[in-house]
Amino acid sequence: MSRAYSGVERRAVSSPFSGAPPASESGPVLLRKPRVQGTSLESWVLRGFLVVCAAAICYTLQPFHLGRVMSTGLGVLTAAVILMAELRLQWAAVGGLLGGALGAVLGIFAAVLVTLIISRTAEPEPTKSFLECAVLVAFAYLGLVLGSKKAGDLHFETIGQRVVVRTAAAPVPSEALKLLDTSVLIDGRIADICEAQFLDGVLAVPQFVLHELQLVADSGDALKRQRGRRGLDVLERIRKMPGVEVRILGDGPSQAGDVDRKLIDLARQTGAKIVTNDFNLNKVATVQGLSVLNVNQLANALKPVVLAGEPMRVLILREGKEANQGVAYLDDGTMVVVDGAKRYINRSVDITVTSVHQTTAGKMIFGRVDDRPEPGTIARQAAAGGRVDGSARGNDAGVLDRGTRSIYPETEAD
């Protein structure tokens, strides 16, 4: 079967004017179909009709002042030439036919230009007619032969197949593709960003990312299995959003390497942006000139700006690393380290920001406990102080009264 296909390919690229038809190793199989078509009854009827028509026309018109017999023979000869051209053209490829037709048209056009020059010469009319006919036939023949041969060398069929394959394989970069990484799906905040309509274009998920997410969901570790399932739930949630288009992409030409390497290769090929939470993937893709959308960087950019010296009220949750430190967290997850707040665990206190540090993991706020007492504390202390003073004054008065009062009452004097 492969040999028959190779013979067909060799026959397709052969020139229609290069002699006998090309032979192949499976000649009887290949030549059977053209032979049946050439010897069919309908073909012979049409060819016979062509011969009769050509002979009748020449017999009636008698060109070149020939007799009826010679004119009939000229008509039969003309039909034979046409039939030979038909048999030759059956072996021609589509590219050869197109090239030959285009070459013949260009040849005839060039012959017309030459005949205009010949007609203005002072030669006798018979000479002019001969030269014009000769130029017309020569140029048309040369254009036909050269056009078919050069078209066969170009291989229009192969070029067309390559163009079709490249057009089908090359993705469209104008759709603003965004490749989702496994980490950003497990994180889950990408769903809230999509729901808030901060992402446009097409969200693309490669097959290898889905495969890695499935492996995590099928892991024996309970924590990993829970994270993988959450990633699948987040993807399903994004897919159901009405204003977001999710597209599943193939693995692409690169099959070697880990998921990060495949993701970078696919982004370079498609011109898409990578959406991730991975710090290392972000750095590698940025070094290679790719666009990266990091959700952690977006979250850090949206955190409120805190300056040194500003007051703040926080809930101390746990003990810090250093002595007498307490740790609190803001609503966006920012860590607040407070000096002198160890005794205030599980209590809300007022602090004063001392410094703010930006790290790769996020923003950290350092502060100290505000030494100013609370208004309620001042009132309670004042009330307690009043009670103490009053009791003290009462005690003192009682002592004085007891001191002026006679313990042993005097009897009435006689």
- Look at the alpha carbons of 259, 260, 261, 263 in this order and tell me if their dihedral is positive or negative: positive
> What confidence score (pLDDT) does residue 164 get?
46
pLDDT of residue 112 exceeding 50: yes
Contact 180, 281 (CB under 8 A): no
> What confidence score (pLDDT) does residue 173 get?
45
> What confidence score (pLDDT) does residue 92 get?
62
> What confidence score (pLDDT) does residue 405 get?
45
> What confidence score (pLDDT) does residue 276 get?
92
Q: Report the C-alpha gap between 372 and 297 in whole angstroms.
A: 37
Backbone angles phi, psi at 256, to 5 degrees: -95, 155
Range from 42-56, 213-227, 303-317 carrying the lowest mean pLDDT: 42-56
Residue whose tokens read 């009636």: 60
HSE-up (13 A, CA, CB side) for residue 411: 2
pLDDT of residue 88 exceeding 80: no
pLDDT of residue 247 exceeding 60: yes
Amino acid at the residue 211: H
Query: Tens digit of pLDDT for each residue in 140-174?
Result: 777 777 777 776 665 555 555 554 444 444 444 44
Question: Strands across the sheet with 245-249, in order?
Answer: 245-249, 202-206, 177-180, 273-276, 292-294
| Complete domains list, the chain, with CATH | 94-170 (no CATH), 173-301 (3.40.50.1010), 311-369 (2.40.50)
Range from 207-221, 225-239, 261-275, 389-403 carrying the lowest mean pLDDT: 389-403
Average pLDDT over residues 47-68: 81
Please tell me the total number of residues recorded for the chain in this structure: 414
> What confidence score (pLDDT) does residue 15 get?
41
> What confidence score (pLDDT) does residue 234 get?
92
> What confidence score (pLDDT) does residue 364 get?
87
Residue whose tokens read 């898409």: 272
H-state helical runs in 65-155 = 68-89, 94-119, 125-154
Q: Report the C-alpha gap between 388 and 121 in whole angstroms.
A: 141
Average pLDDT over residues 205-209: 90
Query: Tens digit of pLDDT for each residue in 253-294?
Result: 556 678 889 899 889 988 899 999 988 999 999 999 999 999
Contact 117, 77 (CB under 8 A): no
> What confidence score (pLDDT) does residue 395 get?
47
Range from 45-59, 62-76, 203-217, 249-263 carrying the lowest mean pLDDT: 249-263
Could you give the percent of the chain with pLDDT greater than 70?
69
Range from 3-17, 26-40, 281-295 carrying the lowest mean pLDDT: 3-17
The residues near 38 (Cβ < 8 Å, ≥ 6 apart) are 87, 90
> What confidence score (pLDDT) does residue 411 get?
44
Binned at pLDDT 50, 70 and 90, residue 107 comes out as confident
Amino acid at the residue 396: D
Contact 169, 250 (CB under 8 A): no
Higher pLDDT, 181 or 45: 181
pLDDT of residue 121 exceeding 50: yes
pLDDT of residue 298 exceeding 70: yes
What 3-state class would DSSP assign to 174? helix
pTM above 0.75, yes or no: no
Question: Nearest-5° angle of CA 143, CA 146, CA 151?
Answer: 115
